[in-house]
Amino acid sequence: MLHWSTQLQPIDADKAWRLASDALLTDVAKILILAGDD
């Protein structure tokens, strides 16, 4: 699914990937914090 976006706008695709990675790390951190509170 990333093939078309990487071919058209590789820089934007890279930024999107970084944003997605940051979002995943944030979600994992929230889950760990919630689990720690329990």
Whole-number pLDDT of residue 6: 54
User: Domain segments of the chain: what residues?
Assistant: 8-37
- The total of other beta-carbon atoms located within 10 Å of residue 28's CB is 10
Q: Is the pLDDT of residue 33 over 70?
A: yes
The arithmetic mean of pLDDT across residues 4-27, rounded, is 80
Structure tokens at 1: 């699914």
Reported as a single tens digit per residue, the pLDDT across 16-32 is: 889 999 999 999 999 99
Question: Is residue 15 a contact partner of residue 5, using CB atoms and an 8 Å limit?
Answer: no
